[in-house]
Amino acid sequence: MKLIDKLYKDAPLATRNEITPKLGFLLTILLALAWLIPFLWMGVATLRPASDGINLMAELMPSLKPTLDNIKDAWEIGDFPRYFLNTTIICTGILLVQFVTITLAGFAFARLDFAGKTVIFYLFLMQLMLVPVLLIVPNLRLVAQLGLYDTLAGVMMPFFASAFGTFLMRQAFEAIPTELEDAALIDGASLIQRIRHIYIPLSIPSFSAFAIISVTSHWNDFLWPLMVINSPDKRPLTVGLSVFTATAEGTQAWGTIAAGTLMVIAPLLITFLIFQKRFISSFVTSGIK
Amino acid sequence: MLFSRRLMLGLAMAGSMAGALAVPALAGEGPTEIDLFFPVPVDGKLARDMGTLIKEFNETHPEVKATAVYTGSYDDTLIKTRASIKAGKPPAAVIMSANFLLDMQIENELTNLDSLIAADGSTKDKFLGQFFPALQGNAVIDRSVYGVPFHNSTPLLYINADKAKEAGLDPSKPPQTWAELTDWAKKLTKREGDKVTQWGIAIPCAYDYCGWMMETLTMTNGGRYYNEEFGGEVYYDTPSMLGALTWWNDLVSKHKVHPPGATPGPAVSTSFISGNAAMMMLSTGSLTYVRENAKFNYKVAFIPRNVRNAVPIGGASLIIPAGVEADKQKAAWTLIKWMTSPEKSAWWSRATGYFAPNMAAYKTPDMVEFLNKNPDAKTAVEQLDVAKPWFATYKTVPVRKNLEDEVMLVLNGKKQPKEALVAAQKAADETLKPYNAETSLKLP
Per-residue pLDDT 10s for chain B (444 aa) are 334 444 444 444 444 444 444 444 444 568 999 999 988 655 556 777 888 899 999 999 999 999 998 888 888 899 899 999 998 999 999 999 999 999 999 999 999 999 999 999 999 999 999 999 999 999 999 899 999 999 999 999 999 999 999 999 999 999 999 999 999 999 999 999 888 999 999 999 988 899 999 999 999 999 999 999 999 999 999 999 999 999 999 999 999 999 999 988 888 988 898 899 999 999 988 888 888 888 899 999 999 999 999 999 999 999 999 999 999 999 999 999 999 999 999 999 888 888 899 999 999 999 999 999 999 988 888 999 999 999 999 999 999 999 999 999 999 999 999 999 999 999 999 999 999 999 999 998
* DSSP symbol at B148: E
Interface size between A and B, measured as CB pairs under 8 A: 167
Q: Binning pLDDT at 50, 70 and 90, where does residue A7 land? A: low
Give the helix ranges, DSSP H, for B87-208: 101-106, 114-119, 124-128, 161-166, 178-188
A245 part of contact set with chain B, CB < 8 Å: yes
Residue A56 contacts residue A63 (beta carbons within 8 Å) = yes
Residues from chain A that touch B86, judged by Cβ atoms under 8 A, are: 137, 140-141
A194 part of contact set with chain B, CB < 8 Å: no
Q: Is the model's pLDDT at A52 over the cut of 80? A: no
Give the H or E element holding residue B390: none
The number of beta carbons lying within 10 Å of the beta carbon of residue B85 is 22
Give the burial string for A109-137 (b: 16+ CB within 10 Å, else e).
Answer: bbbeeeeeeeeebeebeeeeeeeeeeebb
Does A234 contact B13 at a Cβ distance shorter than 8 Å?
no
Q: Binning pLDDT at 50, 70 and 90, where does residue A56 land? A: low
Does B44 contact A256 at a Cβ distance shorter than 8 Å?
yes
Backbone angles phi, psi at B413, to 5 degrees: 75, 20
The predicted structure's pLDDT at residue B20:
42
Does B41 contact A247 at a Cβ distance shorter than 8 Å?
yes
The predicted model scores a pTM of 0.80
Shortest Cα distance, chain A CAs vs residue B91, angstroms: 9
B55 part of contact set with chain A, CB < 8 Å: no
Residues from chain A that touch B70, judged by Cβ atoms under 8 A, are: 232, 239, 243
* DSSP symbol at B160: E
* DSSP symbol at B389: P
Of residues B23 and A26, more confidently modeled: A26
Q: Which of residues 293-322 of B touch A (CB under 8 A)?
A: 293, 295, 314
Share above pLDDT 70 across residues of chain A, in percent, rounded to a whole number: 85
Does A239 contact B70 at a Cβ distance shorter than 8 Å?
yes
The predicted structure's pLDDT at residue A252:
58
Give the strands of the sheet with B314-319, arranged side by side. B64-70, B32-38, B93-97, B314-319, B148-153
CA distance A137 to B87: 7
Q: Binning pLDDT at 50, 70 and 90, where does residue A23 land? A: confident
**Cβ within 8 Å of residue B334, ≥6 positions away:** B61, B64
A75 part of contact set with chain B, CB < 8 Å: no
Does B72 contact A230 at a Cβ distance shorter than 8 Å?
no
Does B72 contact A246 at a Cβ distance shorter than 8 Å?
yes
- R_g over Cα of chain A: 24
The predicted structure's pLDDT at residue B13:
44
**Cβ within 8 Å of residue B271, ≥6 positions away:** B199, B202, B259, B263, B277, B280
Average pLDDT over residues A256-273: 83
Does A244 contact B17 at a Cβ distance shorter than 8 Å?
no
Smallest CA-to-CA distance from B212 within B67, B387, B363, B412 is with B387
A100 part of contact set with chain B, CB < 8 Å: yes
B4 part of contact set with chain A, CB < 8 Å: yes
Does B79 contact A252 at a Cβ distance shorter than 8 Å?
no
A61 exposure class (CB count in 10 Å sphere: 0-12, 13-18, 19+): exposed
Partner residue opposite B72 with nearest CB, options A193, A242, A250: A242
Does B13 contact A141 at a Cβ distance shorter than 8 Å?
no
Instruction: Give one DSSP letter per residue of A71-126, joined into a string.
Output: HHHHHHHTTHHHHHHHHHHHHHHHHHHHHHHHHHHHHHHHH---TTHHHHHHHHHH
The gap from C-alpha B36 to its chain's centroid, in whole angstroms, comes to 18
The predicted structure's pLDDT at residue A128:
83
Q: Which of B7, B58, B89 to mutate to test the interface with A (most CBs of A within 10 A)?
A: B89
Distances (CA, A) of B338 to A3, B30, B249, B331, B341: 68, 21, 45, 11, 5
A118-177 pLDDT, tens digit each: 999 999 888 888 887 788 889 999 999 999 999 999 999 999 989 999 999 999 999 999
A166-177 pLDDT, tens digit each: 999 999 999 999
Partner residue opposite B274 with nearest CB, options A54, A89, A156: A54
